[in-house]
Amino acid sequence: MSEALADIAKVTHLNSHLAQFFQLCWKATPEPIIKVTVGKGTPFTGKKWSDVNFMADYGVDTIAIYRAKHWIFDDDTSIQEADQLIVTGELPALTTFKQVCNSEEPISFDLERKQSHDLFKQDDPKVMECVDRLKGLYIRITDLSETMVNLAFASLFFGNIEIAEDVIDLERVVDSLLVDLERNILEFAGLIPVPQNLLGLMRIVYSCELISDAASNVSEHIVKGFEPHEVIVEAFNEAWDIAVREKVARNSFFNNKTVAEVHSPKHAKGFHILAIKRDGDWIYDIKLDCRLQVDDIIIGIGPKEMINAWRKQVNPDAEIEEE
């Protein structure tokens, strides 16, 4: 899994022409990762990273600080003006957070401006139709791969066989999407000047398959009765977010509500819904107007400290699992 992630990073770094495609993806990503520059007058300037509750106060998670071309991951670090915070969250929260930081630059993850050549012409309707299909498939696959990893480690941490079985089930969904994505990449290759430039995207697709396979392998061990070592449990305790599975009860607030309604700050508790299992089928391309039903199985991801509160909203009678 680590090799696949490193390969994605390497491909992204070496294939700058793919930046045009990735930049089009961020608006459709459920929780994009962006950089936000700490401007003058930002309220938490001078405070330690660990002393600022970014999720509770602003609805975003801070992953790292980029300062003077150096990465900082130590949360004992004091935040300074001109720091670039690498944050993730839903778009409305990110937009508000940028205003809090007095950051006026466009939403982006570019840490430094680099010269790159366009991969395709955005004024060609046929090309953009294919790009839209690629974008949708790419986002689904990367989001589901991340979901599978989170769920696999959640099943490992809790020893939950049901979650592990969901991961194994999701692998089949990802495999089907990957075939569809590869087919669309081949079609796209015939519409652009330099088809070889798509090699990097193909490598990312292959890496996503390795990640989903690895998550499935972890889950298969749980189904077979594997118990995690205490070192793994301790490492999992350090994670910021956790994936959780819960069934919508008849007396749930979520029952008959839209995804937009349950994603409101009051009810989301920092969680967002990644997938829904309904009547044995997975719904992974979730629209905001999708209405939840009794017995829907929801896969959500959010801060560990809010697990109990979120699960109780989905199912007031849920038995809370102790860590």
State whether residue 299 is helix, strand or coil. strand
Tens of each residue's pLDDT in the chain, 323 residues? 667 777 666 766 666 666 667 767 766 677 788 899 999 999 999 999 989 988 778 878 899 999 998 999 998 999 999 999 999 887 888 889 999 999 988 776 665 545 455 677 777 888 889 888 988 888 888 888 888 887 887 777 767 788 888 889 889 889 999 999 999 999 988 888 888 888 888 888 888 889 999 999 988 988 888 777 777 667 666 666 777 889 999 999 999 999 888 887 777 777 878 778 898 887 766 777 889 999 999 988 777 778 888 888 999 987 765 54
Residue with tokens 């974008």: 135
Are the C-beta atoms of residues 298 and 246 closer than 8 Å to each other?
A: yes
Are 225 and 260 within one domain?
A: no
Domain that holds residue 165: 126-230
Q: What angle do CA 235, 241, 242 make, to 5 degrees?
A: 80
Asked if residues 321 and 290 have their Cβ atoms less than 8 Å apart, the reply is no
Residue ending a domain, among 230, 259, 285, is 230
Residue 180 lies in a domain: yes
Q: Tell whether 279 is covered by a domain.
A: yes
- Sequence-separated (6 or more) residues with CB below 8 Å from residue 50: 75, 76
Q: Which residues of 203-212 are buried (b: 16+ CB within 10 A; e: fewer)?
A: bbbebbbbbb
Asked, for residue 151, whether it belongs to a domain, the answer is: yes
* The last residue of a domain, from among 230, 263, 294: 230
Q: What one-character-per-residue DSSP string does 189-226 give?
A: HTTSS-GGGGHHHHHHHHHHHHHHHHHHHHHHHHHTT-
* 142/209 same-domain check: yes
* CATH classification at residue 195: 1.20.58.220
Maximum pairwise Cα distance, the chain: 58
Spatial distance between the Cα atoms of 59 and 88, rounded to a whole number of angstroms:
9
Instruction: Kindly provide the b/e burial profile for residues 155-193, where b requires at least 16 CB atoms within 10 angstroms of the residue's own CB.
Output: bbbbebeebbebbbebbebbeebbeebbebbeebbebbe
Distances (CA, A) of 143 to 33, 140, 249, 255, 289: 12, 5, 26, 25, 19
Residues 276 and 298 in one domain: yes
CATH number of the domain residue 294 falls in: 3.30.70.1450
Task: Supply the pTM of this predicted model.
Answer: 0.67
Q: Mind giving me the DSSP string for 16-84?
A: GGGHHHHHHHGGGSSS-EEEEE--TT-TTTTSBGGG--HHHHHSEEEEEEEETTEEE--TTSBP-TT-E
Number of structural domains found in the chain: 2
Residue 15's pLDDT is: 61
